[in-house]
Each structure stands twice: as structure tokens, then as C-alpha cells.
Structure 1
């Protein structure tokens, strides 16, 4: 797998984790004692991104923040998917030229 694919796939995984965390927060907003989760992202040396979940120190809901996080994660997911699609089209064009 090349660097572009690796970077885009790690971005897809991070965006999916962000979507899952926000969805969990929204689904459990009325659960007594539920502590929100958030996805923390960090760049990796190879150009990708690594994400991990972290629980909030205290219980509480922030539905507005979760909706915005879902929208942002959706756009990040689409951007990384588009990167993979563009790479596949480029490789396909190169193979057609070589054939």
C-alpha cells in the first residue's frame, strides 16, 4: 500500500471514530451519569492520523457540539474517500497509458 492510500485510510478510520463518538454522546445524552466521549486525533510520522477515544472527566451533555462534530467528521470522511477515488482513477489512467 502506498503512502497516499495509507494516509487516506487512516483519515477514514479517524473520521469514523469521530462519528461513532458523537453518535454515542447523542444517544446517551439522557442517561444519568454518562460521561461524553471525544475522539482525539494526532498526526503520525508517516503522514497519517491516529485517533483515540477519551472520556470527559464529568457527566454532562453538549448536543450542539456533537452535531457539529458529526458534520465535521462527515466532511472529513468524504474528503478522504475522494482522495482514494482520485488515486484509483489516476492509477487506472496510468495503466491504460502503459497498456
Structure 2
């Protein structure tokens, strides 16, 4: 169970990193003629999430206000995944502390 918690949180962290990279590219190219804004869709993988990056329609351009809002959302989602990871580690620590010394994993001996 705990491995699935870590796997899900790790996939979320990776997906948000990809999303932030797309936002950075959009901001860097705000004044580039004919630049096609990168759009990110989150796709469920069954055991987590994956970011799929695609190019938006031609002529749409980049709106900095939209990019800032997306950046804030990405930061909040990344922090939420970090909190899930930390909670999973706390759960693991509590489990290892409750076990008899001979039943603990190697790092607790």
C-alpha cells in the first residue's frame, strides 16, 4: 500500500515538473512570432498521472496572465504531492517503530 502512495505522488511530481517546463517555454516565447503555446493535459495512468504536452492552435499566442495562473496551480499541485510523499514517509516510520526490532527493515536495525 505504501509503495502505491509513493508511486502516485512521484508520478504527480513528475507530471507537474513537465507542466512547469511547458509554462516556462510559453513565457520565454511570449514575443516569438508564430509561436504555438504548449498545452498540458493530465492523463490518469491507473497508478498515477502523466502529463501530455501538445501544441495549441496556430495564432493563439501566449497570455501571460494565463501562464501565471497555471504556474500557481502547478506550484500548489507540486506542494500537495510533496505533502503526500511526506505523509507516506511518516506512515512508514510509524509502522517501523511499532514493529519488534527483528521485524524492521534494514534501515531501522
Larger radius of gyration: 2
Task: Please tell me the root mean square deviation across aligned C-alpha atoms, in Å.
Answer: 1.3
Distance (Å, rounded) in 2 between the aligned partners of 1:69 and 1:93 = 36
Aligned to 2:55: 55
> Relative contact order (alpha carbons < 8 A, sep ≥ 6): 1 or 2 greater?
1
Aligned to 1:89: 90
Normalising by structure 2, what TM-score?
0.84
Alignment of 1:1-99 (within 5 A): 2-46=3-47, 48-59=48-59, 60-98=61-99, 99=101
Distance (Å, rounded) in 2 between the aligned partners of 1:94 and 1:4 = 15
